[in-house]
Amino acid sequence: MNNSIVNIKNFSFIVLIFLLVSCSDKKEQRSALNPESRKNNGKISSAGIKEGENEFSVVYDFPRAIRYIEKEDLNNDGNREIIVLSAITDSTQKYAGNAKFDMIEVFAINKEKKSYEKILSDTVDFSDTCIFADLGNNKNRQIIIHTNTFGNDPLSSEGMFIYDMKSADKIELLKYFDSGAPHIDSLRKDGRKQIVVFDRFWGVMPNAESVIYESEIYEYENNKFELRNSSFGDFYDGKIREAVENYSGIKRKIEMGMQPGNMSFPLYREAVGVILYYYAKEDMKGLERFWQDEKDYLKKIIPADEFTDLSNFVSKILPAAANV
């Protein structure tokens, strides 16, 4: 009986020690991710940072507070840079949503002085996420910051900052998207990454019925982002096939007896989808061929304002392409 009591006490003691250690580990992890808690009477926000044998402190006066600290080897030289993300904490208007930080500062090791020095300080309003990715497929990693103003429309609310470390003491803003809900993708599934940006076409439609499409595809090459829609013909061909199938499906329903008045708006919408993807692919011959084949049918079936809108849109695209 006494042995059982001793064993239970020993077991309880071990569990208590485990919980204390576990809580301590979690507290340390939270401190590393959110050094904002390290304040001095609410007047400063500071964090002591150690990387290798180097130690330094980042200190901000109130109301700026450190939100996150990241460590990443951006230029593949074996040394990790320190990325500090901070925010002004007394702006109720700017941070009414889920935006988490509004400034980025990057510190890099100065090999001669053997100390960390600031090489970037920039405003990144309405930012909620910071990630790192090798966009150039050259083992260097870019800083990608996602922004969100938290409006009702993600396409107009979501944007992106992209920074690149050009040398040991220089970081540049490569590209800024203020909207378009840009995201990173690998469209060829070969590991090479692209930035895909969306756009919206309203025409005569209400917002709820508007057409959203992948309007721009960027690749990082030659130390800059270049628009490469024409290089992704296979991707856009798939989108065109899907749009043509949707358009043809609506036509078949009309031919099987559906009233044109009930189906006219969807027919207009699906025709828009086909036109937009030919336009995004920069395939003007394909666009002209589709328009020549379908314009008389569309003119007969859909309302005049919808046909006029399509006709004006196509007429603007084709001459512009010819001039280029």
Q: Which domains does the chain have, with CATH numbers?
A: 34-181 (2.40.128.460), 185-324 (no CATH)
Give the tens place of pLDDT for each residue, 259-296: 655 555 789 999 999 999 999 999 999 999 999 999 99
Q: Under a CB-based contact definition with an 8 Å cutoff, are residues 51 and 82 in contact?
A: yes
Q: Which of 277, 129, 140 is nearest to 220 (CA)?
A: 140
User: In the predicted model, is pLDDT for residue 38 greater than 90?
Assistant: no
Share of the chain above pLDDT 90, in %: 68
Q: 198-243: per-residue pLDDT in tens?
A: 999 999 998 888 999 999 999 998 888 999 999 999 999 999 999 9
pLDDT average, residue stretch 173-199: 96
Residue 232 backbone dihedrals phi, psi, to 5 degrees: -120, 50
What separation in angstroms does the CA of 126 have from each of 86, 147, 151, 227? 11, 5, 11, 25
DSSP designation for 210? P
Q: What is the pLDDT of residues 55-87, one digit of tens each?
A: 999 999 989 999 999 999 999 999 999 999 999
From the list 186, 171, 169, 85, the residue with the least C-alpha distance to 133 is 186
For the question of whether the overall pTM of this predicted structure is more than 0.75, the answer is yes
* 204-242 as b/e: b if 16+ CB within 10 A: ebeeeeebebbbbbbbbeeeebeebbeebeebbeebbee
pLDDT at 127: 95
For residue 179, what are the CA distances in angstroms to 9, 115, 158, 321? 61, 38, 5, 25
State the residue for tokens 């992106």: 160
Cα–Cα distance between 207 and 158 in angstroms, integer?
Answer: 17
Provide the 10 A C-beta neighbour count for residue 53: 6
Which of 35-44, 68-77, 89-98, 194-203 has the lowest average pLDDT? 35-44
8 Å CB contact between 196 and 182:
yes
What is the predicted pLDDT for the residue at 31? 30
Rounded Cα–Cα distance for residues 152 and 197 (Å): 18
Percent of the chain beyond pLDDT 70?
81
> Which pLDDT score is estimated for 191?
87
Whether 3 has a pLDDT exceeding 50, the answer reads no
Contact criterion met (CB below 8 Å) for 89 and 64: yes
Distance between CA 157 and CA 176 in Å, rounded? 13
Q: Order of strands across the sheet with 224-227?
A: 183-185, 194-201, 211-221, 224-227
Looking at residue 233, its pLDDT comes to 97
Amino acid 320: pLDDT: 55
| Average pLDDT of the residues of the chain | 84
* pLDDT at residue 185, rounded to an integer: 96
Query: Which tokens hold the place of 124?
Result: 């990144």
pLDDT at 95: 53
With bands split at pLDDT 50, 70 and 90, how would you rate the model's confidence at 1? very low
pLDDT of residue 33: 39
115, 55 in Cβ contact below 8 A?
A: no
Q: Based on the number of CB atoms within 10 Å of its own CB, is 23 exposed (0-12), middle (13-18) or buried (19 or more)?
A: exposed
Q: CA–CA separation, 148 vs 182, rounded Å?
A: 11
Backbone angles phi, psi at 154, to 5 degrees: -60, -35
Tokens, residue 304? 């005049």
Report residue 159 as tokens.
């944007």
Tell me if residue 180 falls in helix, strand or coil: coil
